[in-house]
Amino acid sequence: MKKNKISKNWVNKQRRDTFVRQSKIDGYRARSAYKLIEIDEKFKIFRGGMHVVDLGAAPGSWSQYASKVVKSGKIISVDLKEMEEIKNTIQIKGDFTEIDIQNLIKKYIKKKFDVVMSDMAVNTTGIKNIDSIQTGELCKEAMIFSKQVISEKGFFISKIFMGGTFNEIVALAKKIFKEVKVFKPQSSRKESKESFIICKKLR
């Protein structure tokens, strides 16, 4: 009974969510596309011809937006799950933390990437502190990987949760990048502790 009630509440919330409704109109696979759009509008990240890696890409809304704005560039979309095809993307099914998958990502693009982005979060346990810490570890893994593959003036974008390992992640980012900002888009749900870390220019 409790599970059914939670499911019903989730469905009702989705129906009321303007970003969910708009995503269906605009053809995005998830409302999370608007978070990246807001990030791009504020920080002026994407331009035509860029090479982008999208870590934890499924269901693909971030890759969809990137595909529209980089145009003649290239996007590598990586996830454990299979995704429907997206224009101008190369999809890799696997765990980006594994060396073989990282080498495969590097193989597709001989030059450095302009953007490494991640909207990854672990499957939730319902215990917020644990979820925050585990998602934070994914963010750190993605950041360390980005250091290997992005250009000197490249961008790193990642989901980050307040609390947990937040301070550790920001401190690590400042060691790797010259410019570090934390931003919560309006399209993030108000009750969520989610924000995004935007890093630019390798040290």
What Å distances lie between residue 148 and 75, 130, 142, 152, 162, CA to CA? 17, 28, 10, 10, 26
Using only C-alpha atoms, the chain has a radius of gyration, in whole angstroms, of: 17
Rounded to an integer, what distance in angstroms lies between the CA atom of residue 18 and that of residue 182?
24
Choose, from 74, 159, 181, 193, the residue flagged as catalytic: 159
- The strand pairing partners of 161, in sequence order, are 194
Longest dimension (CA), the chain: 54
- Any catalytic annotation for residue 68? no
Residue type (1 letter), 161: F
Rounded to an integer, what distance in angstroms lies between the CA atom of residue 93 and that of residue 95?
7
Which helix (H) or strand (E) element contains residue 182? strand 177-183
Q: How many CA atoms lie within 13 A of 90 on its CB side?
A: 13
Residues with catalytic function: 159
